[in-house]
Structure 1
Amino acid sequence: MLSTEKQYVQWSENETSYQALWLSQSNHMPPARIALVDDKTTADDAYRLACEGTSLLWRGDFHNARQLLQALGRRIDRTNERSELRKIKKAANKSVTPKEIPNLFHQQRQLQAQRSRILSRLLLELDTGYISKLRRAPDMSVACTAAFGELDESCVLSFRDLQGALGAAQWREKGVPIKPLNVSVFPHYGVFAPTRHEYVQLLLDAPLPDVCGVAYDIGTGTGLLAIILAQRGVKQVIATDLNPQALACASDNFTRLELSSIQLQQADLYPTDAPLADLIVCNPPWLPAKPSSPLEYAVYDPNSKMLRGLLQGAKQHLAAHGELWLILSDLAEHLQLRTRDELLGWLADSGLVVKYRLDTKAKHSRSQDDTDPLFAARSTEVTSLWCLQSV
């Protein structure tokens, strides 16, 4: 999510000082050092400058900027192949012992963060309304306005953030097909796209409580879980999220599917002034680690804060016969970021008991890729629907 407090970036060009609004999807600070680069700048020179912490303001052909970004990525990969990544891959190609997996995970995260920092140093300047003066630049105004809001001044942003806005515009146009439901959902910029949805079948297979007039979808995101509940006939669904972008996205999806039974509320976990729920559903972030960008909050939950908050508050928001459906992968356990005993302890402390559990094995491509450094963990991943009920 972009910061609401305006920040500006400054640079010199042709002995003249310039200033523009700084946009950063990851809320990075404005760059302190900027070098002007163009079509004549070699990828090796650009890579050296970026590694030294200098940001690169592009002044050449738009498509050549994309090629430069790809070239930077290849140089990062080659460097990593000669250093830390080689160690990770070497470990992945032999029998990995359980105690080695956490180190592999953290090393991989560090390399990903370093890669992101370097690639984010390639910058573009856009005029009012997100208009680019670069040669062969496409019309980006609609995609950028949808992602960042209306803009009445010039701005500077990373080429990667611009690619994210353009990619989100494609998601928003084409949608993500959810085959078990025979519908598509349309993610917005800054909202995690549900490209992994093996858990959808779990939600379709789980028997609804005998009385199910009111349900909550906590952390709704695109609204997918609320859509499932509405399609299964739940009369009143209250979907919550703290992220305004997610609320706008969910509202768009509900309108597209003509689902008038779903109410939206901006809230940190549970809705306020709402009737007790017969059913609460939640698909919280699965990994208790620190996110490196706002979008990663859909995957990483520092110290399992959301998960523990959900469990601690569930009983007081459930009707006497109510159930909590917790969608959770055990990947964190295989990565040794959380133990099963910790999870069971939190369940017990919540005052809820396990009524049943439905499981499904991971089907995504990385769980089948034996060259992935974390294949030993990913290949054994199981996603579960934990049905919890008040004691």
Structure 2
Amino acid sequence: MPAIQWTESDTERSAGWRSESGARPPRRVITADDRMNADTAHKLACEGTALLWRGDYHGARRLLEAIGRRIDRKPVPVGDGPAATFHLQRRARAHRARIMGMLLVLLDGEHALDLRRAPDVRRACTEAYGPPDGPTAVSLRELLGVIGAQQWREKGVEVPALDARIHPHYGVFSPVRSEYADLVAEAPLPEAALSPGATAFDLGTGTEVLAALLARRGVARIVATDANPRALDCARDNAGRLGLADRIEVTGPTLFPEGRAALVVCNPPWLPLRPTSPLEQGVYDAGGGMLQGFLDGLADRLEPGGEGWLVLSDLAEHFGLRTRADLLSAIDAAGLRVLDRTETRPRHPRARDTSDPLHAARAAETISLWRLAAARD
């Protein structure tokens, strides 16, 4: 684990450095407390100086919010068209995250936060990071995300199509946008998938919501895969909570498991760009690699009469990151044919937010379920 160094009470100190966003340890760290005002904190953070907070916990939260307000005073960048605007906004979000990530807190050797009025974060940090390994510095912004994730994990997310709650783990994409689950719940299952002993694959399972839907719809056995170790733990947890552990096998890290299936479902990240952190891997698929891997491997993994279901948003098309012709060409080149396509519209608030510079693209988005079969069948 990398480390940070700072001076406190004329003593040189150090601690491990943890960053789920992949940020490097700050080169300069000073201590700060409730006497520091937001203008000074913002200026130091912009200059690359990290602030290790030693004051009141709620004071740190207020300071973080104040730094965010100062960053947000700069107008939202707008480019010439949706593609340029999207890239400018992503760059602006990365800048905001970097500056706000300069306010740090110290977790002790038990993942405890030694600040006045601080909550007990030990369980949340253990669930996110694993067992403690000595004192560790982490950005307050990240820690707040860890705390929020632990609350979501306890509460769960209601999935109407499943008529149950799914419990996302930290670092695993949460099914808060349930439109894609509705598509999988309503699409006609191939006859082969309903035969006794039939197997389905759920590739990139995440929280395991789609595997659970297939099991509830009568598929006898589902093999769920993921490359993310946190997702594998999350999927097993949810299978147990739903009483489906005997029908859902979770394996990884891999895309395709061994063997063939009557149904292969894949909901890859929807935007073909490189994720800048592990936490972005549920949204960004570098170069469309997972999508291409699914298409290229599908024909050889289907049982006779089997189908592959690709669940994909066309938001990348509206952002100028991929064209529909590109997608159709990739399907054809993989030896596949399109049996049918069903679609739905997004219901999340951003699709209705007219103040969003990308509102036109988001409002035009559709989420589709492409039913694919091997061209040779």
* TM-score, normalised with respect to structure 1: 0.93
CA distance in 1, matches of 2:142, 2:124: 11
SS at match of 2:191: coil
Aligned position for 1:72: 67
Of residues 248, 251, 276, the one that matches 2:260 is 276
> 1:371 Cα deviation (Å)?
0.9
Aligned position for 1:323: 307
> 1:202 Cα deviation (Å)?
1.2
Aligned position for 1:182: 163
Aligned position for 1:244: 229
Of residues 40, 44, 52, the one that matches 1:45 is 40
Aligned position for 2:14: 19
The answer on 1:304 being equivalent to 2:285 is: no
CA distance in 1, matches of 2:107, 2:250: 34
The answer on 1:288 being equivalent to 2:269 is: no
Aligned position for 1:63: 58
Aligned partner letter, 1:175: G
SS at match of 2:59: helix
Aligned position for 1:218: 203
CA distance in 2, matches of 1:48, 1:201: 47
CA distance in 2, matches of 1:112, 1:311: 32
Aligned partner letter, 1:170: Q
The answer on 1:234 being equivalent to 2:219 is: yes
Aligned position for 2:250: 264
CA distance in 2, matches of 1:105, 1:190: 23
> 1:19 Cα deviation (Å)?
1.2
SS at match of 1:323: strand
Aligned position for 2:25: 30
Unaligned 5+ segments in structure 1 are 1-5, 92-98
> 1:361 Cα deviation (Å)?
1.2
> 1:364 Cα deviation (Å)?
1.1
Aligned partner letter, 2:177: R
SS at match of 2:265: strand
Of residues 130, 134, 152, the one that matches 2:111 is 130
Unaligned 5+ segments in structure 2 are none
CA distance in 1, matches of 2:5, 2:319: 43
Aligned partner letter, 1:261: R
TM-superposition CA deviations, 1:220-271 (whole Å, max 9, x none): 0000110000000100100000111000001110000110200011133101
SS at match of 1:143: helix
CA distance in 2, matches of 1:133, 1:324: 51
Aligned partner letter, 1:209: P
Of residues 175, 181, 185, the one that matches 1:194 is 175
CA distance in 2, matches of 1:177, 1:228: 13
> 1:322 Cα deviation (Å)?
1.1
> 1:320 Cα deviation (Å)?
2.0
CA distance in 1, matches of 2:214, 2:95: 40
Q: Does the Cα contact within 8 Å between 2:4 and 2:29 map onto a contact in 1?
A: no
SS at match of 2:81: helix
CA distance in 2, matches of 1:263, 1:133: 41
> 1:33 Cα deviation (Å)?
0.6
1:46-125 map, 5 Å: 46-78=41-73, 80-81=74-75, 85=76, 87-88=77-78, 100-125=81-106
Q: Does the Cα contact within 8 Å between 2:265 and 2:310 map onto a contact in 1?
A: yes
CA distance in 2, matches of 1:373, 1:271: 41
> 1:204 Cα deviation (Å)?
1.5
SS at match of 1:251: helix
Aligned position for 1:348: 332
Aligned length: 370
Segment drifting more, 145-154 vs 59-68: 145-154
